[in-house]
Amino acid sequence: MSTTTHDSAPFPDIDRRTLVGDCENCFGLCCVALPFAASSDFAVDKHAGQPCTNLQPDYRCGVHLRLRQIGFRGCTVYDCFGAGQHVSQSTFRGKDWRDHPGTAKQMFEVFPIMWHLHELLWYLSEALTLAAARPIYDELRSALTETQRLTQQSPDKLAKTDVATHRAEVNQLLLRTSELVRANARRDQKERRGLKKPIGRGADLIGANLKGADLRGGNLRGAYLIAADLSSADLRAADLIGADLRDANLCGADLTDSLFLTQAQLNSAKGDARTKLPPNLTRPAHWSA
């Protein structure tokens, strides 16, 4: 069963490869602009705007190959949706914050804003490939165009962008997209199997046993699936936007046509060679064979 057919959908006006982090063309912005606290994901505390001690002069990570082993798992699951290279090479025209220290404060300020905008571009571009969303293609394309326009603003204008309001407006379109796609999935599904806890938007499914569960067309937006057992579960056409998949077991799960799944979510989970993924996402290196 495929509930999210892409064949008749128009190709979106964006190359989704530009929405993947390209560290070679970034000035280490995630390693400087963002804060983190000592936890299971990070070995130390770091304030926003403070360069990570592992950041080298060439903006490479000095411990990249050992991040998980030395307590920096959070770095391995992060993805900026291409915001880092956009801010570095387009917004600031290749002027890095070390050689041009006067740009540093503003560069670090607009990076999180660009991250939000690029995340929305990821979702909108996906929505425009979904045949079931055809009734709202025009609205989705308009939102995509407006979001692209916002990413092209000057640093001063970017810093003043009301990204929260824009995100709320786009989210209404993404909700409608989800409803259209999942309605098709539910019509094809006679019953749900293997559910022992209620599912739904924002559901607390931490540690839940959902092994082999039929979750097709389910609304798992913002669901807490931390350490949940989703092995061999069917998640086709399930809306996973904002779902917390940290340490979730996705071994053998089918995520082929799941909605709004991101690389960062996969990176935070556990899986294996049997896990079926959407074609635009990559199997994380730390997953078992």
Band of residue 9 on the pLDDT scale cut at 50, 70, 90? low
Highest mean pLDDT among 1-5, 98-102, 188-192: 98-102
Token pair for 9: 């959908």
Among 13-17, 18-22, 161-165, 278-282, the least confident range: 13-17
Q: What is the pLDDT of residue 15?
A: 83
Q: Is the pLDDT of residue 150 over 90?
A: yes
pLDDT-above-70 percentage for the chain: 91
Q: What is the pLDDT of residue 126?
A: 96
Over residues 12-23, mean pLDDT: 84
Q: Is the pLDDT of residue 48 over 60?
A: yes
Beta bridge partners of 249: 229, 270
Q: What is the CATH number of domain 193-289?
A: 2.160.20
**Is the distance from CB of 195 to CB of 218 less than 8 angstroms?**
no
Q: Is the pLDDT of residue 3 over 50?
A: no
Q: What is the pLDDT of residue 43?
A: 94
Q: How many CB atoms lie within 10 A of CB 156?
A: 9
Q: What is the pLDDT of residue 194?
A: 47
Q: What is the pLDDT of residue 186?
A: 66
Give the pLDDT confidence of 177-235 residue by residue, as tens digits. Answer: 999 999 877 655 544 444 555 577 778 999 999 999 999 999 999 999 999 999 999 99
Contacts of 164 (CB under 8 A, 6+ apart): none
Q: What is the pLDDT of residue 7?
A: 45
Among 39-53, 114-128, 156-170, 193-207, the least confident range: 193-207
Contacts of 284 (CB under 8 A, 6+ apart): 266, 267, 269, 271
Band of residue 60 on the pLDDT scale cut at 50, 70, 90? very high
Domain spans of the chain, in order of start = 17-184, 193-289
Give the integer Cα–Cα distance in Å for 170 and 108: 24
Contacts of 263 (CB under 8 A, 6+ apart): 20, 79, 281, 282
Band of residue 2 on the pLDDT scale cut at 50, 70, 90? very low
**Is the distance from CB of 138 to CB of 175 less than 8 angstroms?**
no
Q: What is the pLDDT of residue 195?
A: 52
Cα dist from 284 to 74, 78, 266, whole Å: 14, 12, 7
Give the pLDDT confidence of 257-280 residue by residue, as tens digits. Answer: 999 999 999 999 999 999 999 988
Nearest to 236 by CA among 221, 220, 215: 215
Give the integer Cα–Cα distance in Å for 235 and 225: 13
Cα dist from 105 to 98, 134, 154, whole Å: 11, 42, 15
Amino acid present at 271:
G
Cα dist from 237 to 81, 182, 259, 278, whole Å: 22, 6, 6, 11
Token pair for 232: 């061999």
Cα dist from 233 to 36, 111, 213, 251, 261, whole Å: 33, 36, 5, 9, 15
Length of the chain measured in residues = 289
Q: What is the pLDDT of residue 10?
A: 53
Identify the three-state secondary structure at position 36.
Answer: strand
Cα dist from 143 to 42, 59, 123, 191, 193, whole Å: 36, 34, 11, 35, 37
